[in-house]
Chains A and B, each alone.
Chain A
């Protein structure tokens, strides 16, 4: 059996002690309850306080559980909350970009579409909320894979189908694209998933700077591309939207 790290065991014992009912405890109470020297207990408490797991009441000097501990259990962002927060921004992106907008999250080796705004013309369109898109070839998928380690692990294992002549399927070449995606902060898809369709997407971050989803705009190559690449103003608009949604979720400015 592996030897355990004593200071972590002590820290865990402190958290359990403070978590036993709604209470605040003084340093000497904590030290004596755990059979520790005051100095040792104080050192551990200070570390926990620094991490936000413990807070000290400024008036009494007593300790209690910190807000960060509560957040640990709830960092998971509900996708419907994500949609509600993104609604206004994605409407505006579709309106200004003149193309359809999608919001996607990682789900079972693919991208789950959680929000879709129609292209703002009078054409007949079908709501694609709930549909799945491939991870390795779409702009949404590439962004999620580039920024989310879980998605990346899934991509490595997943079968990578060649949808068009331009689809990248080899791991090394995909890794190069992901690296570029991380560097530039967005990803594109030019004829790589559907012939004649191009898209650009950017990541959405929460308050912990964790990637929680991606937003992208998709349209016919002849409308959204210029000189063989996505129009720069569309790229800028998508990135602005991603930043706005992230800001609404509490992410600090980039």
Chain B
């Protein structure tokens, strides 16, 4: 239909790893306009990844203005603005000048590996797992703050004098939106705070003991707020003219935003995002579950004064990137989509299993000594069988995570909501339903991350009244129902697990 979108709208900023985007949504959760701008990836040394936070803030302002123009929207059309962001990426800035003290250290950056080992000491990487839900790993923000304070001249003194502010990208964007040096609010939301290794999952406050052990002065830390409330209003600057007075009303880490956008509001509901890697989150309700199976415990979201909703998270390092590897390194296909064509040219995997433990195994194994394996090779196996094995690997890895989630939570997965680029692969989605023995459902709006931020920002200002309103917006675009003989499923799973076993212990220390 020729769309005559008219306000009111909600704007969502997605400050991501490779780009910043702004999407404007209408009341039905439909996209009205999108604008996007990539930023530079800075690689000072192998394993190091940085972003220029000043560039990111400039881009954020540009894409918000750009999306407004594309939507033909005026200030009064925008009821509130929400933020979702790349998680764990860490920065410090000067409270008085608003200048970044250093490039932001990106979540992928591994410079804090050694520091994490030291901090773990005899207790190892699970030292603060009970308090924070996280293992001591280089991803998380806390050790990155410590690294900056200890390695950049003058920062520790400035931090102790109270002149320095820490934030993940949500905090940086909100502080700037709400005025920066002229009264910007220094806040973060519970989901972002839950990725610092510094927050108590129980009472959602900074853990002073851990901060002291890590050498992070409390005065640099932002105030922890809910994911959906008015933090402040847009003021000043270029956006002040455009959106002055519009409430800044949500913040959610990207994966949690996708959980929210997929309207996984009930205990046991889960979403899985299939990109280069895969992130699966399951809503565990008001119950904080300590994983016995290698999953992370995190905050799913918190709406205003309501109780926080917890989540279990499992990540798979290599999914879409395995298809890219088939294309770029092996040259067996010329586009990612062709993997399906190649895989469909045979009936099954021909006995081959591909475990892409390229940099070790993640959840639920956490074995860094593992390396990739293609098992079960015979003369019979062709490149088409390998293509099948590639797609099946993504499905089996998802199965391992759902099994771990079921074990930890005691809740059986009733259906899996999926999003991300790989959901266009019909064969994969069907196989996923087959091996999970549960329906796999794709929603109509692929931009679940931005949608989640918009939903949370809209709830905070009463644009939507309840999560039930949001559920009503959710539309099923496709559903794959399981259609596999259970004996076959069990046999194949057993073979997969055998192949996984063969990856372990490859590296000898």
Contact = CB atoms under 8 A, between A and B. Distances in A.
Interface stretch (B76-84, B96-104, B162-170, B336-344): B336-344
Nearest to B447: A88
Contacts of B476: 118, 120, 122, 125
A237 interface: yes
B329 interface: no
Interface string B1-35: 11100000000000000000000000000110000
A115 B476 CA distance: 14
Interface string A75-108: 0001111011001100110111100000000000
Given A80-B340, A118-B477, A118-B479, A87 B1 contact: no
B219 interface: no
A233 B2 contact: yes
A224 B476 CA distance: 20
Contact of A87 (B2, B30, B446): B446
A116 B478 contact: yes
A91 B338 CA distance: 21
B477 A117 contact: yes
A74 B339 CA distance: 16
Contact of A127 (B335, B475, B479): B479
Nearest to A117: B477
A96 B421 CA distance: 22
A79 B425 CA distance: 11
Contacts of A97: 1
A125 B479 contact: yes
A187 interface: no
A79 B340 CA distance: 9
B380 to A, nearest CB: 25
A39 interface: no
Interface string A40-84: 000000000000000000000000000000000010001111011
A153 interface: no
Nearest to A88: B446
A95 B30 contact: yes
B479 A91 contact: no
A236 interface: yes
Contacts of A94: 444, 477
B65 interface: no
Contacts of A234: 1
Interface in B13-61: 30-31
B425 A80 contact: yes
Given A91-B477, A127-B478, A84 B337 contact: yes
Interface string A108-133: 00000001111010100111011000
Interface bin, chain B: 20 to 34
A6 to B, nearest CB: 37
Contact of A236 (B2, B337, B445): B2
B424 interface: yes
B426 interface: yes
> Considering residues A117, A127, A129, which has the most beta carbons from chain B within 10 angstroms of its beta carbon?
A127
A95 B335 CA distance: 28
Contacts, number: 75
Contacts of A83: 337, 424, 426
A91 B445 contact: yes
Nearest to A121: B475
Contact of B338 (A80, A116, A127, A240): A80
Contacts of A81: 335, 337-338
Nearest to B441: A118
B426 A91 contact: no
Given A96-B1, A125-B479, A127-B478, A91 B337 contact: no
B334 interface: yes
A91 B445 CA distance: 7
Contacts of B421: 84
B424 A84 contact: yes
A67 to B, nearest CB: 15
A60 B426 CA distance: 49
A240 B476 CA distance: 22
Interface in B287-333: none
Contacts of A126: 481
Contacts of A88: 446
B147 interface: no
Contacts of A118: 475-479
B334 to A, nearest CB: 7
Given A78-B337, A78-B338, A88-B446, A233 B479 contact: no
B480 interface: yes
Given A96-B3, A234-B1, A129 B446 contact: no
A211 to B, nearest CB: 19
Contacts of A87: 423-424, 446
> Considering residues B340, B341, B475, which has the most beta carbons from chain A within 10 angstroms of its beta carbon?
B475
A80 B339 CA distance: 9
Nearest to A123: B476
Given A74-B334, A91-B446, A120 B475 contact: yes
A91 B444 contact: yes
Interface string B435-464: 000000000111000000000000000000
Nearest to A90: B477
Interface in B67-81: none
A117 B341 CA distance: 20
Interface string A222-254: 000000000001101100100000000000000
A254 to B, nearest CB: 17
Given A80-B341, A81-B335, A83-B337, A117 B425 contact: no
A78 B1 contact: no
Contacts of B477: 91, 94, 117-118, 120
Nearest to A234: B1
Nearest to B336: A84
Nearest to A237: B1
Contacts of B30: 92, 95-96
Contact of A233 (B1, B336, B425, B478): B1
Contacts of A120: 444, 475-477
Interface string A2-34: 000000000000000000000000000000000
A126 B483 CA distance: 13
Nearest to B335: A81
Contacts of B445: 91, 95
B320 to A, nearest CB: 12
A79 B341 contact: yes
5 contacts: A78-B338, A91-B477, A94-B444, A96-B1, A129-B426
Interface of A: 74, 78-81, 83-84, 87-88, 91-92, 94-97, 115-118, 120, 122, 125-127, 129-130, 233-234, 236-237, 240
Of all A-B residue pairs in the complex, the 3 with the closest CB atoms, nearest first, are A80-B337, A81-B337, A120-B475
Given A84-B421, A91-B477, 13 more contacts: A79-B341, A81-B338, A83-B424, A87-B424, A95-B445, A95-B475, A96-B3, A118-B476, A122-B476, A125-B476, A126-B481, A233-B2, A236-B1
